[in-house]
Amino acid sequence: MESIALRREQQTAAEPATGAEPSYAPTVQSQGGAPPQFALYLRRWLALNRSGLRAVLIGAISLALFLLAWHLLTEYRVVFFVRFTNVPSPSAVYESLTRAMHDSTFFMHVILSCRRILFGFSLAALIAVPLGLVMGRFRLAHEILFPITEVLRPIPAIAWVPMAIMLWPTNEQSIIYITFLGSFFPILVNTLHGMSLVDPVLVRAAQCLGAREMSIFREVYFPASLPHIFTGLTVGMGVAWVSLIAAEMISGQFGIGYFTWEAYSLVQYADIALGMICIGVLGLGSSALIRGFGRLVMPWSRT
């Protein structure tokens, strides 16, 4: 108990310290006027974000070095266990990117993949989140459904490909189904985890304030689990891409995974790297989208 009190004191003591203005702040402020104010903010911003800026700078240098290494390895066709003889150089990839920019089929591949992700992932989120909430709240639902999910969960989505082709009438549907499966379990498991961590004291507090079952569900269990739900969504989005690309490579027509695989068959090696980079960027973008959405719906977790 004493340690809690101590910790709190330290926290409150630390807050003003980090938020404290630099000692030169008052003298600059006293001069008044808009331009010094702006300069002051800029300087403060720089001071507060120094470590962030440093990370950005070093990150940029590191990426540039990576590009350089790639360039040199492919330029001199290095063979040292790994063979770079056929690997496209960065400039070749850039070339094929500019070509792809004027080519509607490339965009069609990208858009088709995004659509599959959108359908598969949204469906998974719309089913797994409510299911996790219900399983977390009602013991009977948990007891009935948990064994089934535990048996199905270790099966990688890719292993479902033949089965999916049999289950669904069209290729498109089976690819969406694979994507759905890939993201379903991470979302479900994380939602369940979030539900299991809900502080029972908060539930009691709500009951003492007159909340009934539905209100407790909506006002306590759901928001309390949201951070874990979003962890699940982020992980699920990653697995959705993994599953989608694999499914497209195996059974696909169209899609960025298919594009990448086809580039290999057609001996257009630069397009392989282009497809890979494109997949990376799409994955990055979609998780950033989820993170942003998470920040929007959980304003309390941002300090």
Partner 1 sequence: MSVMTPDPPSKGRIDVDNFALSYDTLEGPVEAVCNASIHVNPGEFVSIVGPSGCGKSTLLNAVAGFLKPTKGGVTVDGEAVDGPGADRGMVFQQYSLFPWKTVKGNVEFGLKMKHLDKSSRDRAARTLLGLAGLTAFENKYPDSLSGGMKQRVGIVRALATGPKVLLLDEPFGALDAQTRVIMQQILTNMWQRLKISVLFVTHDIDEAIFLSDRVYCMTARPGAIKAEITIPLERPRHQSMMMSSEFLGLRRGLMSLIREESIKAMGGELNDLALDGLSIDLHGQSLADVL
Give the interface with partner 1 as residue ranges (CB under 8 A). 1, 4-5, 8-9, 12, 199, 201-202, 204-212, 215, 219-220, 223-224, 226, 298-301, 303
| Cβ nearer to partner 1, comparing 15 with 150 | 15
CB of 187 to partner 1, least distance (A): 20
| Cβ nearer to partner 1, comparing 101 with 201 | 201
| Cβ nearer to partner 1, comparing 92 with 211 | 211
| Cβ nearer to partner 1, comparing 3 with 23 | 3
| Cβ nearer to partner 1, comparing 207 with 287 | 207
CB of 98 to partner 1, least distance (A): 47
Is 256 within 8 Å of 275 (Cβ atoms)? Answer: yes
CB of 16 to partner 1, least distance (A): 12
CB of 202 to partner 1, least distance (A): 6
CB of 133 to partner 1, least distance (A): 15
| Cβ nearer to partner 1, comparing 11 with 265 | 11
CB of 9 to partner 1, least distance (A): 6
